[in-house]
A and B are shown apart, each in its own frame.
Chain A
């Protein structure tokens, strides 16, 4: 299957700091999605990106669809304790979705 490289694997930041994570692939995707997963729960969709170059915001979250269609990044501004969790990127191709390995975010109050 398709391989998505997500980095960093984990982050420990102080409350109020900004966060940046990214996802790269050797394959081109039609759509990029970003999810957040809390322990023991299903991932929740944060942002969907539909075309190359697109920059989309959702509150303190901003994500971009790379021009080459092979990468995407997610930024979180002014982090708060409830931002803690694992963040996944996903690329969509046809009926299938391919997921990154996740970025574990810890916010220190």
Chain B
């Protein structure tokens, strides 16, 4: 069966510091991968999605970037965090079907 992992689970970072969040999926190959941000428990905002290694589509201009160095690994990064980057970051995957499945999330607090 497929599983999706995200780490870290929680993170507190100062403004201006770099960021790296990792997402990995097991038990599937060539999935579509997604990064979402959720503020205040509502409203999932799509940040990036990827249909293959090295292929990244950005939905929202911001100081975040994403990379997919391996088939089942998706990384969200920033060179300098802003206060507005605080939120709950969710990774999701989708295989050949339509359904999309989410990971457990990373709670990021920028101070």
Contact = CB atoms under 8 A, between A and B. Distances in A.
Interface string B90-111: 1010000011111111010000
B61 interface: no
Contacts of A11: none
Interface centre among A42, A96, A98, A99 (most CB of B within 10 A): A42
Do most interface residues of chain A lie in helix, strand or loop, or is the interface mixed? strand
Do most interface residues of chain B lie in helix, strand or loop, or is the interface mixed? strand
A23 B4 CA distance: 28
Contact of A101 (B42, B46, B102, B105): B42
B53 interface: no
B90 A43 contact: yes
A63 to B, nearest CB: 13
A90 B98 contact: no
B105 A96 contact: no
Interface in B46-84: 46, 49, 51, 57, 59
- Determine the interface band of chain A, counting residues with CB < 8 A from chain B: 20 to 34
A41 B103 CA distance: 8
B43 interface: yes
A79 B98 CA distance: 28
Nearest to A32: B98
B28 interface: no
Going nearest first, the 7 A-B pairs with the smallest beta carbon separation are A42-B102, A99-B44, A31-B98, A102-B42, A42-B105, A43-B102, A42-B104
Interface of B: 32, 34, 41-44, 46, 49, 51, 57, 59, 88, 90, 92, 98-105, 107
Interface of A: 1, 30-31, 33, 35, 37, 39-45, 48, 50, 86, 88, 90, 92, 95-99, 101-102
